[in-house]
Amino acid sequence: MKILIVLTYYRPHISGLTIYAERIATALARRGHHVTVLTSQFDSTLPLEEMMEGVRIIRVPVLMRLSKGVIMPKFGYLASKLVKENDVVQLHLPQFDAAGVALRGRLLKKPTVITYHCDLQLPPGLFNRVANIAVLLMNDLAARFTHRIVTYTDDYARHSKYTRRFMRKVQVIAPPVVLPEISETEKIEFNRKHNPKRQHPVIGMAARFATEKGVEVLLKAMPAIIENHPNALFQFVGPYQHIIGEEQYFERLKPEIEKFERSGNWKFLGSMSPKQMSGFYANLDLLVLPSLNTTEAFGLVQIEAMMNGVPCVTSNLPGVRQPVSVHGMGEIFAIGDSQELADKVLAVLDNVEAKRVPKVDFSRYSPDLIAQKYEELFEKIKLEL
C-alpha cells in the first residue's frame, strides 16, 4: 500500500504530534508499505527530500511564518501530485493545509483519515485569535471531507468541541508508544551525569516549553514540595528556548525558574534522544503533567514513564487523565490547581511503592499493533467507496 502522511511539522521538530507521526510512519514502513511524509521545511537547513528509517520525507519550502503556522506556496502542487500517486492519505491535525488535502482525497476516492491530536488554542493576542479562527475553519472543512477521524480516547472525543460534532466518523485508536531498552550501567551513567549530587526525590516534566503545558502551575507548587523535600530535583526534558510562538511565555517564567536553578532544585536537560529518554524515566520518582487546556489530549510521556514503573500526577483534562485512570499509576489533580498538585505529588512520594504497577500490560500501545489498526481502517474505507 502507498501511504501519504501529511502534517505541518515532522522530525527533527519535537512534539507529541511529531513523535506519534514518526512512530506510525516507521511502523507502517516496517510492515512493507511505501510511506511518504509531506511536511514543511520549517528549518531552511533541512533537505527538501530524504529517506529516514524507510520513510520518504518531502519538505515544502516555507515562504513566511505566521505564529506557529507556515505559508508554503508550493504545498498545493505537491499535495495534488502526491495524493494522486498514493493509495491512502493520513492527515495529522491541527493543520491549516488539511482541508485541501482531504478534499483531494475525497474527489479522487482515496481513503482519507484524520488523526486528531488536540484542539488548537494559541496564546493570547489579536493575531493569534485570527489565526486560531482560520485554522479551526480549515480543520472543520477537513472533517467534513475526510472519511474517518481517529482520536486517542473516547474521553477526549466526547469532550472536544471539534470531534464531538463528528462522532459518526470517530474511531478510537490508542497512540503508539515505544522506548528503547537500556542497560543498568547506562541508567547509572545518566543519573551520574544529570544528578551528580544524588538529589532525591527526582520529579520530571517532559514537554515542549509551551503555554498549554502549565509550567507555571508546577512552579507555584514547588515551594510546598521543597518544604517537605528540600533536596528535591525537578528535571525538565524537552526544547525550552526559542520555541516558535512561545518566546514571551519563556521570558515571563524565566526569573522564577532561575531562582529554583540557583537553589539547585531545577535543571533543564534539553531535548533528548529516545535512548536518553529511557535513562531519564529510569531515574525518576515521579512524572508530572500540569497541562492547562485541550491542546493536550493524552500525554504520551505518561505511558513512557509508566512503562518504567514511574507514577504520574496529571491534570484532570479529558484524555489526559486516561493513563492514570486506566492503569492506576498515580494521581489526578484539578486543572491549574497548584496546591492540589503539590498535595498529590507529596501523597505519591510518601507512598511510591504502592503506586507502582510494573506488571501492567502496555502491549495495546505497540506501534506495530497501531499500524495494523490503521491498515484495517484503510481497508474498511476502501470497501465503502
* pLDDT, tens digit, 9 for 90 and up, residues 183-223: 999 999 999 999 999 999 999 999 989 888 999 999 999 99
- Are the CB atoms for 39 and 15 separated by under 8 Å? no
**Residue 222: CATH number of its domain:** 3.40.50.2000
Q: How many domains does the chain have?
A: 2
Are 373 and 342 members of one domain? no
SS3 166: helix
Question: What's 345's DSSP letter?
Answer: H
Domain check: are 377 and 270 in the same one? no
Q: What is the pLDDT of residues 152-194, one digit of tens each?
A: 999 999 999 899 999 999 999 999 999 899 999 999 999 999 9
Same domain, 214 and 266: yes
pLDDT tens for each residue of 24-80: 999 999 999 999 999 999 999 999 999 999 999 999 999 987 767 788 999 999 999
- Angstrom CA distances, 114 to 13, 117, 345, stand at 20, 9, 36
- Tell me the per-residue pLDDT of 284-295, one tens digit each, with 9 for 90 and over: 999 999 999 888
Question: Which domain, by its residues, includes 148?
Answer: 2-176+366-384
- The helix/strand count (H/E) of the chain reads as 14, 16
For residue 208, the tally of other CB atoms under 10 A from its CB is 18
Same domain flag for 157 and 245: no
Domain check: are 15 and 132 in the same one?
yes
Q: Residues 289, 306: one domain?
A: yes
pTM: 0.87
At 298, list the grid cell.
493524552
CA distances from 333 to 39, 131, 237, 312 (A): 36, 31, 22, 11
